[in-house]
Each structure stands twice: as structure tokens, then as C-alpha cells.
Structure 1
Amino acid sequence: MTAAPDSAQKFDASRAGEYEQQSRIALAGYDACHDLSACMLAAALGSGRAARVLVAGAGGGAREVVTTAALEPSWHFTAVDPSEPMLALARARLEESGLDARTEVVLGTVGDLPDGETFDAATLIGVLHHLPGDEAKRAILRDIARRLRPGAPLVLAGNHQPYASQPLLLAAWGERWRQQGAGPDEVEAKRARILQGADPPHSEQAVADLLRESGFAPPLRFFSSLFWGAWIARRSPSAT
């Protein structure tokens, strides 16, 4: 679930090793979000048909691929991530699940893919809030839009709202870690880390604006957990 090269630097080998466990604590409903994302794509495309799916930011276990492939055995995937340690973890999970034959794994960004490639659907989960500034966010969304057929669905998920702007949600996020056994010092360290380490869109409307500016129709939210949201949006026919 990592993003552009500069942002990917923080996803080194040590962070990759703890990613799967840490993500399930930081995001209450981690597995439910991925399960519903697969269901939304299947509902949007129609189950039982063949499809090619672009998974942007697939590192950290390729959960998007594993979950969706179990639901749709005729789908094939292109999994892209700029972090070698995170992508290595994704490769391992794909091999364990027997999905390596159905998945092309690419070290790099969506922009590195050939412009001529066209996908029936895409996911961008846990990436956008790691990209600094709106232009970087628009850039990856535009790169995805250019590789989707008109009307193709995108599942976008990540944190939105500045963390410090919602002190109650931030406090509840800390309690989530305490609930999982973290002591006071560890909770404070993790709270400091989230405040310094990401740049989420400032609101749900900001998410919708970024999508519109990048070639997508208005999104539909289907999941929420504290700062996290998940939406589905279709590529606009007029997107270029």
C-alpha cells in the first residue's frame, strides 16, 4: 500500500516486516474494508466475467489481490509498488496463496506502466494520505484514470481529515492501540508518528474534488473507520 518513490522511502525493511500486524491495529476493520472492496468491484463489474485489475500500492501483503482473487477466479491483476521490501512481502503472500500465476508484479509506480495498457478496474488503498500535497495525489489518480477504460471502477481508500483537527478521533485511535496491549509510551510514540508521517486529504469533499479533477465521476462511500474512508468511483467517459 505504498506510493511514490519519495514517500516509499519510509517503507523500509523494518516497517515492511511489521506492516501486516500494525495495519490491522491502526485500521479497525482492515479485513472488512478489503472484503467489501472486493465485493464492490465484483458488483460494479458483474461477477463471473474475466477482468484485468490494476492494484496500485500493492506492497505489504497484496491483500487487495488475495481477497479479490478469492471472490473472482477469472480476474488477473497487475500489482504495482515502488518499495522493494514491501513488494517482496506482497510476492511472498501471492506465492503462498497460489496467485503468482494470476498476478504481474511491478516494482515502480503506476506512471511507469505502458500508456497502452487498459484495465477493467483499479484499487488505490492506503496510499493517498502518504503523498504530500494535492498535486501528487492528483498525479497518481490521473495515471490510474489514463489506464482505465471509460466507466471502469476505482476503489479508493485511505485516511482523510487532518489528524490534529479531530482530537476525539485521534484519542480514540490511541485507545485502539492501548486496547491491543500498547503501553502509554508506545501509544504516544505512535500518535506522534501519525501526526508527522502523512498528509491526508482535508475532508471527504476534498477526496471527491481530487477524484473529479483527475477524471472520475462522484464517489460513493461504502466504509468508514475513524479517519479512514473507502469509496468507489468510475472513470469519467471524458477523462484523458
Structure 2
Amino acid sequence: MASSSTHPAEKFDTSRASEYGKQSRIALAGYDACHDLAACMLAATLGPSRPANVLVVGVGGTAQEIIAMAALEPDWRFTAVDPSAPMLETATEQLQANGLLHRTALHLGHVDDLPAEPAFDAATLIGVLHHLNGDEPKRHILRSIQQRLKPGAPLIVAGNHYAYASQPLLLQAWGQRWRQQGASADEVAAKLGKILQGADPPQSEAAVQALLDEAGFGEATRFFSSLFWGAWLASRRPVDVG
């Protein structure tokens, strides 16, 4: 487990926010496909062409989850939250460029800052859990989301899982992903170092499910995988037994 005293949001300064869209699409092969499929999974769960209010946690950077969902479902509206001001600013620019600001309420801060009511029809948490150091912050953010969802409402969770050092072949392939894009050996080492800085992903897919279960969600369905990355859909249990 990588340890760091730095708050996760502090890693995403102006420099990192400005390159986030490009670097994320290199680091995650299938970045856009994952977001597109997340939108499809939510639409399949909620029922297509129905109004919905969706909570988007960690929207900063590309706002790609909103862009994908909005293109599929014109009657969905979004509440987006991110603790990094530079990342939220970059997301705002993307939403403005795609004509989606009027459908999105943006909040600088944390899920806990949002009121518990009205409850949301669905939520997404993409690329966040592996930046939270330790299991308790992971449980906390999942529980905070759960408390703001309607019973039975779906949640998309996506991010890295496995301890990075436990999968040396995947780690080497991850480095080759940058080399594939023209990076030198030194640049590859620098990119990997930045990604690994302070990162603490869940240790396995079972660990992701355990966190979801402890936060009041049912069994998750994985719908996307790419090296260390996985994406799942789970739903808030109709009756909270936590």
C-alpha cells in the first residue's frame, strides 16, 4: 500500500488537471468505452428515455461520464461534486463546450456537503476509490453516496484494483502503454511514478465487493476491465441492513 500524508485532492493541481484528459486516455486503454458503457448500464437499469437525477462524484477533469450519459439520455440531469478546484474548473470547461452546463449543478467539495434530500436516481464514482488511502475513507464515500440514493438505485463504481506490486506483468504492460504513445524510458518511469503517488487501490475485485456490501449495496456486476482497471454496477439495497 502506498502511503501519503497529502490529501487526495491536492495531487490534482492546475498542472495535472490540464493534462488529465490526455493522460487518462493513455493510462486507461478504453477510457471512452468505459464511460459509454457506464451510461448504457445505468440506462438499462433505470429504463431508457426516462427522466433521472444522477449524482456524479469526482467529476473533475473530463466530465466524460456526464457527456456520455447526456448524449444517451436527454432527460437526465446531473449534480456533480469534486474536491479539487482546478479539476472542477477543467470539467466545467468541458461541460460548457458540450452545451451541458444548464443540465448540471456543480459543487466544489465532498459528497458529505450535499443535502440528503432529494434522493438521487443513480450515481457514479469513477476513478476515485484508488486515490483514497485506506479502507475507511473508501467505505465512507460509498456510504455517503448510499445515503443520498433512492432504495434500489444503481451506482457505477470504476477504478484500479489490485495492489500494483502484486501484478508485475500488468505494471510492465502499463508502462508499455506510454511507450506505445511515443514516451521514452525516462518518461515512462515518470508517468508511472506520478500515477503510483499516494495511490491505494482495493486489493482485489472481492475487496471492491466487500466495500460495497459494507456501505449498503448489493452484489456488483463487472462490465468493463482494462489492466488494473475494473468497472461495476451495484444497487443500493432496498432495505438498509447495514
TM-score normalised by structure 1 residue count: 0.96
Q: How many residues align?
A: 236
In structure 1, the residue matched to 2:92 is 91
Question: Which residue does the alignment assign to 1:235?
Answer: 236
Runs of 4+ in 1 over 4 A off after TM superposition: none
Distance (Å, rounded) in 1 between the aligned partners of 2:133 and 2:194: 15
Q: Are the aligned partners of 2:39 and 2:72 in contact in 1 as well (CA < 8 Å)? A: yes
Structure 1 vs Structure 2 CA RMSD: 1.0
Aligned partner of residue 206 in structure 1, secondary structure: helix
Where does residue 166 of structure 1 map in the other structure? Answer: 167
SS of equivalent residue, structure 1 residue 9:
helix
Partner Cα distance (2:216, 2:114) in 1: 18
| Aligned AA (2:23) | Q
- Structure 2, unpaired ranges of 5+: 1-5
Task: Tell me, in whole angstroms, the C-alpha distance in 2 between the residues paired with 1:230 and 1:172.
Answer: 19
Identity %: 67
For residues 189-200 of structure 1, the aligned pairs below 5 Å read 189-200=190-201
**What's 1:105 paired with?**
106
Q: Report how far residue 93 of structure 1 moved.
A: 0.8
* Mapping 1:176-195, distance limit 5 Å: 176-195=177-196
CA distance in 2: counterparts of 1:67 and 1:103, whole angstroms: 13
Given residue 68 of structure 2, which amino acid in structure 1 is its aligned partner? Answer: T
Letter in 1 for 2:30: G
The Cα of 1:237 is off from its aligned counterpart by 1.4
String of CA shifts for 1:26-48, please: whole Å, max 9, x gaps.
Answer: 00000000010000000000011
**Contact 1:164–1:195, Cα closer than 8 Å, also in 2:** no
Shift of 1:188: 1.4
Match of 2:119, SS state, is: coil
Equivalent residue, structure 1, for 2:18: 17
3-state SS of 1:177 partner = helix
Partners of 1:54 and 1:123 within 8 A in 2: yes
Q: Distance in 1 between matches of 2:149 and 2:196?
A: 34
Residue 192 of structure 1 deviates from its aligned partner by 2.6
Query: CA offset at residue 168 of structure 1?
Result: 0.2
> Cα distance, 1:235 vs. partner?
0.2
Gaps of 5+ in 1: none
